[in-house]
Structure 1
Amino acid sequence: MDMETADKGAHAKFVLTGPEGKFDPRTTAHRGDLADIALAGKMFAPHYAESMPMRCSAPKAMLRKQPGKDHEAISELLHGEDFHVLDIAGDWAWGYCGHDNYVGYVPVHALQHEKKTPEPTHLVFARAALIFIEPDYKSGVMKRLPMGARIACGEASECGNYLKTGKGYVHVRHVQPIGTKVVFDGSNGTAALAEQLIGAPYLWGGRSGDGLDCSGLIQTILTLTGVAAPRDTDQQLEALGEDIAADEELRRGDLIFFPDHVGLMVDKERIIHSTSHAMQVIIEPLADTIARFAKTAEQPILARKRLS
């Protein structure tokens, strides 16, 4: 792929004005031979590239550390989400996700240029949404989209129960306009959204109802309540919520951080989380989770956070 690089055209030159700063490699588009042009002057690279704006056209696509299906999955790109491509080699595109800047490789066939796809207007907030051929649940199903997928919806059907998409119809009870917040249980809908995912399999790197890891669960449900959350547990620990005083009782919707793990309280005593211990999303007593971590960690709970 012939990407636009910084040394083309006007032969622009970039000079580091000081030592390279510390960057998180998970969210910094820099590799040995190439870097995002936004890093020019901050980090050295033989070439810099302007990103090509793409969008996920598949229901979902795994983001991997290296190109190839056998390499480790590090996150997941969902339908309608933006992906900024910096390089394409063979069947794999290297770049970063628009929603959280996470860097990795995705299959080229899962992407389309954003100019060839309509701007998403709605988010899937049900565990999954079906795209029907006609505005009728008895008609054929064209596609299944997971929770968190973004979709362009147009006019409502005559019955008002379906919205027209580029291909087929989606039920109004499965989607919400982007920018609105889902409220299921009073002031905090995060726990109710998480409860829809009970039984979903644990999947390292996953962030959809078809499979997700602990931080993927938190990121997905917070997105639906209008909160932009980073991808990984340590990033979420640093960025999300306010510390809860040690003598204060936990509430529904509070976040509990463990070593390399995170969960969400459904009440003052029970937690919902996607855990490799059960290999699925479960609700269990917080005391049971603490007891497991206490076997290997001196400090089982790293933080208790409350979202505003």
Structure 2
Amino acid sequence: MTRKRIIKPVVDLLRNPDGPRDRQLLFGDEVDVFETSDGWARVTAKKDGYPGWVSSDQLGPETAGTHWVTAPATHAYEQPDMKSPDRATLSFGSKLNVLSEHGKFLETELGFIPAIHAKLSETRLTDPVAVAELFLGTPYLWGGNSRFGIDCSGLVQAGLLACGTPCPGDSGDQERELGKPLPAGTEPKRGDLLFWKGHVAWIYGENMLLHANAYHMDVTFEPMDQAITRILEQGDGPVTSHKRL
């Protein structure tokens, strides 16, 4: 086994070589490599233990990131100048190695990013729902984990990992492993999670959910009672659990 890191802005974590996407990895994410074959690597993500396959050219040497992207997304520019050409676009949660500081910009291996868009690697945020809110309007993408496309469990994971709380990648595992189950009829509280079979949503406030869903095809607010009725009527069943972290 060897430790590597992702060197592309967003990488699909595939079920098997040339297979379907299960999740995604972001620039700087660390992975353990267990096998390589015909240009493919079988890996496990360090952040959540998720297994899968990535193309070997999407991997580079392990390095300890100094910073991470805390803006919804950012550009890496050729020069410390917002009018210079951009080289790459990075999502919230990407990990970077800062080489030097240039005024309002940080020099990284990809180029220069605005310093206001990143924090030191040890920094943890405090409100996972506020983190999830950064993704409002992000297109829904099955298995997505970035500002460019995300699904329900990716939205929950983004919020919790940013606040230093371990979180599995899939909603079924999240339902089993996260929080404390609450009795039916418990008054919802901001930061609670509501689960259905194959779906999860943040409780944002009184009668309001924040979730990535295929009905709206993006990250959106939706009244809780409306969502519960809609999901039941479309044949996806009732709420399976209400959990508090």
TM-score (norm 2): 0.93
For 1:127 and 1:142, locate their aligned partners in 2 and report how far apart those are by CA, in whole Å: 17
**Partner residue, 1:143:** 88
The DSSP-based 3-state class of the residue aligned with 1:266 is strand
For 2:16 and 2:206, locate their aligned partners in 1 and report how far apart those are by CA, in whole Å: 41
For 2:182 and 2:123, locate their aligned partners in 1 and report how far apart those are by CA, in whole Å: 27
Aligned residues: 244
Amino acid across the alignment from 1:64: L
For 1:212 and 1:297, locate their aligned partners in 2 and report how far apart those are by CA, in whole Å: 20
For 2:141 and 2:219, locate their aligned partners in 1 and report how far apart those are by CA, in whole Å: 10
Q: How does 1:246-261 map to 2 (within 5 A)?
A: 246-261=184-199
TM-score (norm 1): 0.75
Instruction: Decide whether aligned partners of structure 1 residues 176 and 306 sit closer, same or farther in structure 2, where only a CA change above 3 A counts.
Output: farther
**Among 43, 51, 58, the residue aligned to 1:110:** 58
Q: Provide the aligned C-alpha RMSD in A.
A: 1.7
**Among 65, 85, 88, the residue aligned to 1:120:** 65
For 2:16 and 2:205, locate their aligned partners in 1 and report how far apart those are by CA, in whole Å: 40
For 1:214 and 1:250, locate their aligned partners in 2 and report how far apart those are by CA, in whole Å: 19
Amino acid across the alignment from 1:162: F
- Name the % identity: 32
- Cα deviation for residue 306 of structure 1 reads 2.1
The DSSP-based 3-state class of the residue aligned with 1:191 is helix
Check conservation: 1:179, 1:226, Cα contact below 8 A: no
Larger CA Rg, structure 1 vs 2: 1
For 1:167 and 1:66, locate their aligned partners in 2 and report how far apart those are by CA, in whole Å: 29
**Partner residue, 1:23:** none
Instruction: Decide whether aligned partners of structure 1 residues 268 and 84 sit closer, same or farther in structure 2, where only a CA change above 3 A counts.
Output: same
**Partner residue, 1:164:** 107
Q: How does 1:1-308 map to 2 (within 5 A)?
A: 51-68=1-18, 71-114=19-62, 118-157=63-102, 159=103, 161-183=104-126, 189-295=127-233, 296=235, 300-307=238-245
- Cα deviation for residue 281 of structure 1 reads 1.1
Check conservation: 2:10, 2:24, Cα contact below 8 A: yes
Runs of 4+ residues deviating >6 angstroms: none
Instruction: Considering Cα pairs closer than 8 Å and 6+ residues apart, tell me whether 1 or 2 has the greater RCO.
Output: 2
